[in-house]
Structure 1
Amino acid sequence: MSKSVEVRLKVNGKDHVGQCESRTLMADFLRDHLNLTGTHVGCEHGVCGVCTILVDGEAVRSCIMLAAQAHGADVVTIEGLAQAGVYHPVQKAFHDHHALQCGFCTPGMLATAIDFLSTNASPTEPEVREALSAVLCRCTGYQNIVTAVMEAAAVMRGEIETGARADG
């Protein structure tokens, strides 16, 4: 039997305290303990990237991270990307460019793109393609996703204006 541990962390700007078994994966903790079901699980081996979340600002595969490892961390999931009812620039660009199909990989794709753009504000298209290769999408050829990330980078650099509301 696995030992129970207390996990204290900030998720999407809110403090949370939870108890879970020491072997509980972060994806399961988010989904089952915090009822944040936007984080999807695909391969359960850290290969496909659909479970990617941001932990202390960096992209992390939540299917291979233990919840206990997130103790004290600042976590952002798909549910926390929009702020004050306004989409994150990457979300807005995905919407504008129809950069999703079934939506299963989208939360991981967004987290990966946001992490990538935090370290490369002016990427080339090949660099975007390389960064996004960390998340597998079976529904699309990635072109609209790449276009969306390129536009989001321009918005985040202040070259293009945006302001779509997430609530309408």
Structure 2
Amino acid sequence: MSKHHITTTINDNPVEFLCEPQQPLLDVLRDELGMTGTKEGCGTGDCGACSITLDGRLVCSCLVLAVEAQGKAIQTIEGMAQGDHLHVLQRKFLEHAALQCGICTPGFLIAARSLLERNANPTEEEVRFWLAGNLCRCTGYQKIIEAVLDAAKEIRGA
């Protein structure tokens, strides 16, 4: 099989790579591009650890073929912090101790950012809905929910 040449944008930077026709985007991000912040938890789209945004849509990168990235804009956890400045969600996760082992954390952060980009004033129920595709086996969910709500409050300037 011949490899496909893909041109895309990742975290606002133009990127080109070669991939096999059936290669998951997760594998290319981690193995070919060295973006190991996106984690593989299950490989079946059930845990959310590999969450990214693809043209603004929250997706599990283990379920997206790398060839589908052609011409699209991808955002990963590596693009959240701006230089030495953590994104407000990253700061709030630290302040609320909303992480432990770190496997699920990037997916939660990407999902939460996706929510807050659409709605800076979510209810607890809306946060729970948006994060329902992410599983955590260490911390439970309450600290994560509180961190997202606190970040939303800061974004609103309240």
TM-score above 0.5: yes
Unaligned runs of 5+ in 2: none
AA partner of residue 98 (structure 1) = A
- Structure with greater proportional helix content: 2
CA deviation map 1:110-151 (0-9, x unaligned): 011111112222111122122211100011221110010001
AA partner of residue 34 (structure 1) = L
AA partner of residue 15 (structure 1) = P
Q: TM-score, normalised by structure 1?
A: 0.89
Please say which of residues 141-150 and 53-62 is displaced more in the overlay: 53-62
For residues 111-130 of structure 1, the aligned pairs below 5 Å read 111-130=110-129
Matched, 1:97 2:96: yes
AA partner of residue 9 (structure 2) = K
1:110 corresponds in structure 2 to: 109
AA partner of residue 122 (structure 1) = N
Distance 1:88 1:72 in 2: 26
What secondary structure, in the 3-state scheme, does the structure 2 residue paired with 1:135 have? coil
Q: CA deviation at 1:33?
A: 1.0
Distance 1:18 1:129 in 2: 36
Distance 1:110 1:132 in 2: 9
Unaligned runs of 5+ in 1: 160-168
Matched, 1:48 2:47: yes
Distance 2:52 2:103 in 1: 14
Would you identify which runs of 4 or more consecutive aligned residues in structure 1 move more than 3 Å? none
Q: What is the CA RMSD across the aligned residues, in angstroms?
A: 1.2
